[in-house]
Amino acid sequence: MKNRELYRVLFSMGVQHSMEYRFHFFLGLLSAVFPIMVQYFIWTAVYRHSGETALFSYSYSQIILYTILAGLISKLIATQFEYQIAEDIKNGGLNKYLIKPVSYFGYRLLSFIGQKAIYYAVTALLFAAILWTAYVQGVFIPEIDRLLLFAVSLWGALVLHFLIVYCICASAFYLHEISYFFLITSLLINILSGGMFPLEIFGHTAVRLLQFTPFPYTIYFPVNVLSGRTEAAGMYEGLLIQLGWIVLFLWIARVTWRVSIRKYSAVGG
């Protein structure tokens, strides 16, 4: 009972943190506009000069919708706690979690979800406006079941991305300078997740191979669930696969940190 109350407080702290730094959130959303606009002009030029009505199995309207949705989702699932974890490892911030009945993993996860909860509520209005515009233009057909499954897949993507990044953070136990490593892995994960452009650009074979990795289930899969490119059977199958990756990375995170923390010197704090 005490643990339940403790983690409720941690979740509440995450919500309060997001409210305290709400300007940072809106600034983050604004920063998503620039790459979306760049891709908009690029795709507009590509389709105009190609003379084709569809490229990589996407029509012009579909590729623009994908670009906007992927840009927003990539911002929603972004973690940005990697450097805080690295700092805790480097300067002894983990000490208080080792001597108190508080799980560091639980603290980070609940705080992270708490921060994202208010973000999701605000961004839902943006999604509604975008989808309404797409509906008016005939690009999007609203379906209640699809919208609900998208909401489930989006929260699954949030947890899965958290777990992937949390596992990567264990490298801070071994690497002295970690910032560039985080930057490179973040960019690579975003590309493989379909955050920059549809995975079909890599070719059919690459898409099939990437389906055996967790990355498409953080951005590419939720976008296609919402846009209607994934059929009903594929949506349920994708959710099961996404859940499977979450369970697997829960185990990987536990094992990785249990092994890596043996390198922790507990200096500072």
pLDDT 10s digits, 96-138: 777 766 778 888 887 888 777 777 777 778 888 888 888 888 8
| pLDDT band (50, 70, 90) for residue 1 | very low
Higher-scoring residue by pLDDT: 88, 65: 65
Quick one: pLDDT at residue 121? 74
240-263 pLDDT, tens per residue? Answer: 999 999 999 999 999 998 888 877
- Do 14 and 117 contact (CB within 8 A), yes or no? yes
pLDDT at 214 over 90: yes
pLDDT tens column, 16-50: 555 555 566 666 667 777 888 889 899 999 999 98
Could you give the CA distance from residue 166 to residue 139 in angstroms, rounded to a whole number?
37
Q: Does residue 269 lie in a domain region?
A: no
- Contact between 104 and 94 under an 8 Å Cβ cutoff? The reply is yes
Tell me which of 230 and 29 has the higher pLDDT.
230
- pTM of structure: 0.87
Residue numbers of the domain that contains 60: 2-263
Tokens of 174: 């071994």
Which pLDDT band holds residue 180 (cuts at 50, 70, 90)?
Answer: confident
Average pLDDT over residues 184-210: 92
> What stretches of the chain adopt beta strand conformation (E)?
54-55, 58-59
- How sure is the predictor about 269, in pLDDT bands with cuts at 50, 70 and 90? very low
Asked, for residue 52, whether it belongs to a domain, the answer is yes
Does 207 score more than 80 pLDDT? Answer: yes
- Collapse the DSSP code of 90 into the 3-class scheme (helix H, G, I; strand E, B; otherwise coil) and give the result: helix
Helix (H), strand (E) at residue 247? helix 232-260
Residue 63 lies in a domain: yes
* Total domains in the fold of the chain: 1
Tell me whether residue 268 is in a domain.
no
145 DSSP 8-state letter: H
- Rounded to the nearest 10°, the torsion over CA 27, 216, 39, 181 is 60
* CA proximity to 260, closest of 89, 84, 81: 89
Contacts of residue 173, defined as CB under 8 A and 6 or more positions apart, other chains included, come to 89, 260, 261, 263, 264
Is residue 58 in some structural domain?
A: yes
pLDDT reported for residue 260: 83
Q: What is the pLDDT of residue 26?
A: 65
As a whole number of angstroms, the distance between CA 56 and CA 201 comes to 6
Two structure tokens written together for 215:
């990355």
Query: What is the reported pLDDT for 18?
Result: 57
Q: What is the pLDDT of residues 66-106, one digit of tens each?
A: 999 999 899 889 887 888 888 888 877 777 777 766 778 88
Give dist(CA 67, CA 60) in Å, integer.
Answer: 11
CB 117 within 8 A of CB 15: yes
- Res. 10: pLDDT tops 60: no
Query: Which of these, 98, 113, 101, 104, lies nearest to 84 by C-alpha position?
Result: 104
The answer to whether residue 208 sits within a structural domain is yes
Q: Cβ contacts of residue 110 below 8 Å, gap of 6+? A: 7, 10, 11, 14
pLDDT at 263: 74
pLDDT confidence of 12, banded at 50, 70, 90? low
160: pLDDT strictly greater than 90: yes
Which amino acid, one-letter code, is at 93? G
Please tell me which residue, 136 or 220, carries the higher pLDDT value.
Answer: 220
